[in-house]
Amino acid sequence: MIVLKETLPKSEESTTTTKTSTTAKPEAASTTPKDEDAEAKELLAKCEQLRRRRKRDSSSSSSEEDDDSSEQKSAKKERKKLKKMCKELKKQQERKEKRQGDDSIRQLSDALRSYQMKQKDQRRH
């Protein structure tokens, strides 16, 4: 289960949205890699949206900055945690893709080696 908590900008501060994404797991082997990949891609897209939204909202200034310093600190801490989680997820996906690429290369090299051996055997006969 992966939980992302999103804090909205100062103008919408009265509401906090929590996004929870779960994958149903009645059995350990029932979750397919495709479902996990789709979920990870969706979460990465949400991370990208959050990153863009923060940049866009940071350009607007607020005059109530001193009043809500503790709320701002907690929101900042939360954004930092989200950013860290997004980075971690992105790294996991990159490692997974690299492993899959390495497996494909290994399979291809094995197939080529096998093919070359067959070709050599045919030339001898």
For residue range 10-58, what is the model confidence (pLDDT) as tens digits? 444 444 444 444 444 344 445 576 788 888 888 888 888 887 876 655 5
Structural domain includes residue 70 = no
Tokens of 48: 């990208």
In a domain, 72, yes or no: no
Strands (E), the chain: 2-7, 16-21
69 belongs to a structural domain: no
Q: Is residue 62 part of a domain?
A: no
User: Is 21:43 a contact under the CB 8 Å cutoff?
Assistant: yes
Residue 41 lies in a domain: yes
> Looking at the domain assignment, is residue 64 inside a domain?
no
> Would residue 102 count as lying in a domain?
yes
Q: Which residue has the higher pLDDT, 67 or 100?
A: 100
pLDDT per residue as tens digits for the range 61-88: 555 555 578 888 898 899 899 999 999 9
* 27 burial via Cβ count (<10 Å: 0-12, 13-18, 19+): exposed
| DSSP β-bridge partners for residue 7 | 16
What is the length of the chain?
125
Which domain does 53 fall in, by range?
2-6+16-57+78-124
User: Does some domain include residue 91?
Assistant: yes
Task: Using the predicted structure, report yes or no on whether residue 91 has a pLDDT greater than 90.
Answer: yes
The H or E element that residue 76 is part of is: helix 69-124
Domain count, the chain: 1
